[in-house]
A and B are shown apart, each in its own frame.
Chain A
Amino acid sequence: MSQTRRLIRQTMTIARRDFIATVFTPIFLLFLFAPLIMVAFSTIGALGAAQAADHGSDRVRIVAIVSDATATAFAAADRQSRTIFRRDEEPPELVTLPPARDPAAQARAAFESPDYDATAVLYGPLDRPTILYGARGQRAADYLTVLATGALSAERLGGELPKVTPRKLAFSRQRATLGGQNQTASLAVFGVFFLTLFLAGQVVGTMAEERSNKVIEVLAAAVPLEAVFLGKLLGMFGVAVLFIGFWGTVLGQVASLLPPAFAGMVGELSPAVGLPMFVMLFVAYFTMAYLLLGSVFLTIGAQASTMREIQMLSLPITIIQVGMFTLTLSGLSQPGSWLALVAEVFPLSSPFAMAGVAAASDALWPHAVALAWQALWVALFVTLGARLFRRGVLQSGSTRPFWRRKGA
C-alpha cells in the first residue's frame, strides 16, 4: 500500500473512532438539541411580548371629529391607505365622532374616553384641521393628515376619489442587487463565524482523552502522530457536519412552512457568484475555517495536561475567534483596503473574509488560490502540532531549546 493511502486509512480510522465516541453518547443528544433550548426561550419571550403588546394596542384609536358626510370619505380613505401597511405596522383603528358645539373641548375629552385610548384626535375644517396627539402619537397624527387629504380630495372631486385599477406582475431581477450583495457578505461572514465559534472549540480537549487514559502510546506506536491529529480534527468536523446537517434540514423544513414573504427575503440574498456556487464556497470556507481554527486549538490543547488547563484555554480561544471575526468585518466594510487584504491573506481570518468576498465579487480564481492557501496552513498547523506533541509529551525531542543550549 502506498504511503499516502496508508496515511489516509490511518487518519480515517482515528476519525471514525472519535466520531463514534462523540456521537453515540447521551451527552451528544444534549449538544444536538441545545439550539432547541435557545429557540424555546426566545419563542416564549416573543410570545409574551406580543401578548403584552396586543393587550395594549387593542384599545388604541385615532379619532376624527367630522360631520357624517365627511366621515364616510374618511372611512373610504382609511380603507385605501391601510392596504399599504403590514399587519403589525397598521395604524390604530379609526373612530369618527360627530362634532359637538365645542370641538376643541370634545377633542380634549376624547383623550379621557373610557371606551378607548385615543392617540391622536383631529377636528376643525379639513383643509386646516387641528390634530392633538398624545405620547407616541406623532405618526398617528401624520396618518390623520393623510386621511384628511384623501377626504378633502374626494369632497372636491364630487364625493369620491378616482379609481385606479393596476395590473400587477411579479418580476425577478437578473443582476444581484448591490444592497443584497453587501447583506449577503455580512451574513456569510457571520454564518461561518457563528458555526465555527460553537463547533471548532470542541476540538481543544480531544487530545486530553488519550493523554489521560494512556491510549496515546497505542496510537503513537501504530500510526504517525500527524494521522492522529488530522484524524481527530476530521472526526470532530464530522460531528460538526452532522450537527449542521441536522439543523439545516430542520430549518429547511420549517422555512418551507413559513409565509412566502419570508421566502422572498431569502431570495433577496444575492451573492455575486450566483447562489449554487456561493453555497459551495460557503461550505468550503466553513470547512477551512473549522480545520484551521481546529488545528490551532488542537495543537494548543494537546499541550495542556489537565482538564483545568483546557478550561482555562477556552477564553483565549473565543477571543481569537471573535478577533478574526471583527478583523474580517472591518475589512469587509472597506473593500480593497489594506485591512481587507490582511483579513483575506491572514490564514485564520482568510475563510471568513473570502466567504464575504464570494458574496461581493464574481471572480472565481481568488477562491481557488485562497482554498489552496488555507489547506496549506491546515497541513502546516497539523504538522506543527504533531511535532510539538512528539517533543513535549512523548519526550522524543531531547535537544535542548536554543535559548538554553549555550553553556550546557
Chain B
Amino acid sequence: MDNQWAVTASGLAKRFGDRRVVDGVDIAVPTGAVYGVLGPNGAGKTTTLRMLLGIIEPDEGQRSLLGHAHPRDASDLVGYLPEERGLYPAMKARDAIVFMGALRGLDRATGRVRADELLEQAGLGHAADSKIRKLSKGMAQLVQLLGSVVHRPKLLVLDEPFSGLDPVNQERLEALILGERDRGATILFSTHVMAHAERLCDRLAIIAGGRRRFEGTVHDARGTLTAQVRYRPRDPERVLPELLPADAVREGADWRFPMPEQGIEPILGRLLTAGAGILNLSIERPSLHEAFVRIVGEQEMAA
C-alpha cells in the first residue's frame, strides 16, 4: 500500500432502521492535505467520519485508514474531535489532555510536557490547573482539540470543529489546523460553514442526502457554476437586446448574464460598435457558497 492516500473509502453505506443515512460514499484523502467534507445538516457527514474511524461498522463498502484495512489498527496515529464534545468535568485541563494522549498510546510524562506547551500556545496556560467544568464551552472545546493532537497524529479528524467557537477562537483553530498540516499531518474535517472550507481546504467533498455530490478542489467547485457578467453601459439608449445574450436580465441600470462559452470579447465588440460604451463591467466568479447551494439544491430538487 503506498502512502499517497491517508484515507480511502468506496461505496460506504449505513442504514439506521429503514433510513439509508449514508448511501454509497467514496472518499480519497491525499496524504498531507487539508480535506473538507461539506454538507448540509443531516447529510451523513458525522456517520461517514465515524465509519472511516471504525467507531461504527459500515453495512457496505470498503475503507482504509493510513494503510490499515481495520481503522482500529491505526487508532494510535489518529486524532479525533467528535461533533458532540465531551470531557470529564472533574478533570483538570492538563490531565484531560494527558488522558486523551494516553488513550492513543502517549506516555504520561511526555503528555504532561506537551499539554503545558499546547495550552500555552493556545493562550490557555492559565487554565492548565482548572477543572473542565470551570472553563467556558469554547475553552473546553479548545482543550479537547489540544487533547486530540497531543500525540502528534498522522491523521487529524475534526467533526464540525468551528461550531461553538467565537471568531477569535475560530482564528486560533484555523492557525492550529495549518500548524498541524505544516507538521505533516493530514487533516480531514467536516463543516457546513463555507468560509472556513474556502480558506483551508486543499480538496473537498460535498455530501448531501447520504451521497457524495462533488469531489475536487475549491476552484473546481466554484467552476461548476459559470461566472456572472455584470455590465453597465455608458449610453443605455443604444443597448439593444439582440446585442446581448438571450438570457441577459436587466437590473436597474445594469445588465446581468452568465459568461458565454466563447468568452465576453465578441459581445463587447458588438456593444462598442453600437456605441453603447462601458461605464462598468465586472465578471463575478461564483463563491463556494453559491456552488454549494447549487450542488445541494440540485440534490434536493431530485429528491
**Interface set of A (CB-CB < 8 Å, partner B):** 1, 6, 9-10, 13-14, 17, 21, 25, 209-210, 213-224, 390, 394-396, 398-400, 408
Contacts and interface: CB of A to CB of B under 8 A. Distances in A.
Given A215-B88, A396-B57, A398-B16, A222 B82 contact: no
Contact of B85 (A9, A10, A214, A396): A214
Nearest to A9: B105
B86 A216 contact: yes
B211 interface: no
7 contacts: A13-B102, A217-B55, A217-B84, A218-B80, A221-B78, A222-B104, A408-B18
A399 B75 CA distance: 26
Contact of B86 (A213, A222, A395): A213
Given A13-B102, A221-B53, A214 B84 contact: yes
A21 B90 contact: yes
Contact of B103 (A213, A218, A390): A218
Contacts of A210: 86
B82 A213 contact: no
Contacts of A9: 105
Interface string B1-20: 00000000000001111100
Contacts of B102: 13
Nearest to A12: B102
A221 B55 contact: yes
Contacts of B104: 222
Given A214-B84, A396-B57, A223 B75 contact: yes
B28 interface: no
A219 B147 CA distance: 12
Return the 5 tightest CB-CB contacts between A and B, nearest first. Answer: A214-B86, A396-B56, A222-B103, A217-B82, A398-B15
Contacts of A1: 105
Contacts of B18: 408
A213 B87 contact: yes
Interface in B77-120: 78, 80, 82, 84-91, 99-100, 102-105
Contact of A6 (B53, B87, B89, B105): B105
B72 interface: yes
Contact of B56 (A6, A214, A390): A390
B88 A213 contact: yes
B202 interface: no
Contacts of A395: 16, 56
Contacts of B59: 398-399
Nearest to A214: B86
A220 B53 CA distance: 10
Nearest to B157: A221
A222 B80 contact: yes
A223 B103 contact: yes
Nearest to B151: A222
A142 B14 CA distance: 88
Contacts of B105: 1, 6, 9
Contacts of B14: 398
B75 A218 contact: no
Given A221-B80, A398-B17, A213 B89 contact: yes
A215 B86 contact: yes
A2 to B, nearest CB: 12
Given A6-B105, A13-B99, 14 more contacts: A14-B103, A21-B90, A209-B88, A213-B88, A215-B88, A217-B55, A217-B86, A218-B80, A219-B103, A221-B80, A221-B82, A223-B103, A395-B16, A400-B17
B11 to A, nearest CB: 16
Contacts of A25: 90
Most buried by A among B16, B82, B147: B82
A408 B17 CA distance: 10
B88 A21 contact: yes
A219 B53 CA distance: 12
Nearest to B159: A217
Interface string B190-210: 000000000000000000000
A17 B99 CA distance: 8
Interface string B53-82: 101110100000000000010011010101
Nearest to B53: A221
Contacts of A224: 72
Nearest to B20: A398
A218 B159 CA distance: 12
A41 to B, nearest CB: 32
